[in-house]
Structure 1
Amino acid sequence: MGCDQTKIRPSVASIHQNSNIERKSVFSYNFDEHHTLSILPEVPSDLSPIDKDAFTTMVCQQRQQAIDNLTYRKTIDKWQPSSIEALVNSIQELSANKNKIDQAWIIFYWISENISYDTDAFFSNQIGTQNAISVFQNRKAVCDGYSSLYAELCNRIEVQCFKVNGYAKGFGFDPRQINFDQTNHAWNIIILDNNHSYFVEPTWGSGYVDKTTHKYTKKLVSDYFLCRPEHMIYKHLPTDSDYQLLTHPITIEQYLMLPYVYPTFFTYDLQIVSP
């Protein structure tokens, strides 16, 4: 989802029964009592990014070098900050004279190794304060807390970053669903010193929740660091269409029509040839 390329040619489903029928019936040929058909929203064929120059060869190289830097990981793993201020000092010391990508990665990696998803809060629907200080102190968060902490740490070391709210095809998502009741996720956009915008997904980049056991497993997923807009849109739809970072922003109906894919889909340059 970072600097890897892929060729996307989604196919378009052409007919639907009336709009009250669940999405799982989309490909059924049973007609309703009025024998009417309605057209499904077309799967967007153009998911090109608005910024064609964001992922230069240099940016891709710097991204991969930061991810592969074992010295960063070994150093960060030794940190035991007692406050956000102490953490910021450590980040500044390690990233001194480094490029912004390295600085953004150091924060991404620290969060992935030190913040766990708060499954108790999520499944009990008793989510506490998700500001940066609370997340740092508790070492637990849901997506709002992950993105709040990431933005706070970035901005403290002068890496411009803000939080994005929207609709994600994450835990509990049913590919047959036809709408979202409300926004359900938060992630980040950072603006680097080349004045280009990039997606960062600190929650999904830190681990996953098992759908059966509801147990959280820590796992660093670097694919979610500096994600391409044309990849991110498959599972992340911002409430503000400007934050899709696409030449032609898509609707929520079109978003739901996009196939459910995993990062390896883009890593291996796969191509969709049929529904």
Structure 2
Amino acid sequence: MMKELLLGLFLMTGQFILAQIDQEVIDKVDTYPSSFSLYETLSERIITDFENDYDRAAAIYTWMAMHIKYDAKALFSGQVQRVAHFSYRNEAEKYQKEKALRDELARSTLKKKKAVCQGYAELYRLLCQACGIECEVISGYSRSHLNDIGKVRSEPDHAWNAIRIDDEWSFVDATWGAGHVDYKTRKFVPAFTTAFYAVEPAIFTYNHFPEEQEWNFTELTLKDFSQQPLFYHTFFKKDIELLSPMNGVLKKTSKQRIIIKFKTTRDRKHVFHYAFHGMKYMKDADVQRNGDVITLLIDAEGHRSGYLDIIIDDETVMTYKLRL
């Protein structure tokens, strides 16, 4: 039985994790046609133009994120939840029929140039395999909205990929790399980003958690994953690490102050602000520095519920939920 996975929820704002794709790869792929009739034509061109698996997998991600649109109409109409039924006599026949359905979804995505997350993931898999790159489709849970903080999903809602290069697994989400859905207009907004290519598991798990335990390369449980703050891709440009609190739902303060600690990973100076939702302007954070540890002291008086944005260098990097 083949299940076309769910909604593939999208980011409404910037998201997390900036990966490295050489600008030369992006520039080269930008010269490609916007459409290919056959996936073999695209994969052969990528094999010719790029010498190593990392750049080839990056080129596939780049072309897809630039040219495949998210099917917002299917999302809002509920047409994305479909199950294909078929009979089979043994496990080998079951596997072959499932693979045929998955490959057909991938080819349909290439032809129509639009899909929900499962279509993106299957096309990425097919193109990687055509380039000789080990690739799997992963189903699981995503976090992209404020109301996801502290909420444990009952069912998987998203699909992405795992690629293995030089015996190392990393994760790829071409769906989120393509842009986002504007939930007010119910339309897809193209916004190419390299942020979701070849992300190491420990970082990717900030906003993606696999359904199958074999793809969880961290110590996190689904509950742990769900209770984290909501991180945006801007956080990972700052070369800092969050030390505490790791729970995204803040339930107490110290003397009416919220205390947040970071560790710097490079010798960089940052400017820290904060904003409770509903405030007209952001405020300066009280910053204490002790070696490579940075402590923010935030006045929480009068704020008992809602959300708290942490802003570094004029970019919102993460959000906490308040239940004080």
Structures share a fold, TM > 0.5?
yes
Q: Which one of the candidate residues 170, 190, 196 is aligned to 2:163? A: 190
1:101 match: 54
1:202 matches 2:163 = no
Offset at 1:241? 2.4
The residue that corresponds to 1:257 in the other structure is: 227
Deviation by residue 1:14-35 (Cα, 9 ceiling, x = unmatched): xxxxxxxxxxxxxxxxxxxxxx
1:191 Cα deviation after fit:
0.4
**Counterpart residue type for residue 78 of structure 2:** N
**CA distance in structure 2 between the aligned counterparts of 1:159 and 1:90, rounded to whole angstroms:** 15
Q: Which whole-Å CA distance do the structure 2 matches of 1:220 and 1:190 have between them?
A: 20
For 2:146 and 2:137, how far apart are their aligned partners in 1?
22
Aligned residue pair count: 208
2:174 is equivalent to residue 218 of structure 1: no
Partner Cα separation in structure 1 for residue 208 and residue 26 of structure 2: 30
- Please state which structure has a larger fraction of its residues in helix: 1
Alpha-carbon distance, 1:79 to partner: 5.5
CA distance in 1, matches of 2:237, 2:59: 22
Q: Return the TM-score normalized by structure 2.
A: 0.59
Structure number with higher strand proportion: 2
**How big is the shift at 1:213?**
2.0
**In the superposition, relative to structure 1, how do residues 80 and 126 fare at CA in structure 2: closer, same or farther (>3 Å)?**
closer
For residues 184 and 240 of structure 2, the distance between their equivalents in structure 1, rounded to whole angstroms, comes to: 28
Task: Name structure 2 gaps, 5 residues minimum.
Answer: 1-16, 83-100, 245-259, 261-319
Counterpart of 2:134 in structure 1 is 160
Aligned partner of residue 198 in structure 2, secondary structure: strand
Does 1:88 find its partner at 2:40? no
State the structure with bigger RCO (CA 8 A, min sep 6), 1 or 2.
1
| Residue equivalent to 2:29 | 73
- Asked if 1:132 corresponds to 2:106, the answer is yes
SS of 2:79 mapped into structure 1: coil
Query: What CA distance in whole angstroms lies between the structure 1 residues aligned with 2:174 and 2:63?
Result: 10
Quickly say closer, same or farther: Cα 1:151–1:120, change in 2 above 3 A.
same
**CA separation in 1, counterparts of 2:62 and 2:149?**
34
**CA separation in 1, counterparts of 2:47 and 2:52?**
12
Contact (CA 8 Å) 2:150, 2:228: kept in 1 or not? no
Structure-1 residue corresponding to 2:255: none
Mapped contact 1:166–1:183 kept (Cα < 8 A): yes
Q: How do residues 142-161 of structure 1 correspond to structure 2 at under 5 angstroms?
A: 142-161=116-135
Distance 1:122 1:64, change over 3 A: closer
Query: Contact (CA 8 Å) 1:2, 1:228: kept in 2 or not?
Result: no
Q: Measure how far apart 1:266 and its partner are.
A: 1.2
Quote the RMSD (CA, aligned, Å): 2.1
Distance 1:102 1:119, change over 3 A: same
The DSSP-based 3-state class of the residue aligned with 1:217 is strand
Write out per-residue CA displacement over residues 108-154 of structure 1, whole angstroms, 9 at most, x where no aligned residue.
Answer: 01101211000000110112787101111111100111011001100
Structure 1 residue 178: deviation in Å? 3.1
Q: SS of the counterpart of 2:139?
A: strand
Asked if the contact 1:2–1:226 (Cα under 8 Å) also holds between the matched residues in 2, the reply is no
C-alpha displacement of 1:103: 0.4
Contact 1:147 1:163 in 2 (8 A): yes
Query: What are the equivalent positions in structure 2 for 1:43-58 lying under 5 Å apart?
Result: none
Q: Deviations over 1:158-207 (max 9, x none)?
A: 0110011000013x662355321311000111001x11111111100111
Cα separation, partners in 2 of 1:157 and 1:64, compared to 1, 3 Å:
closer
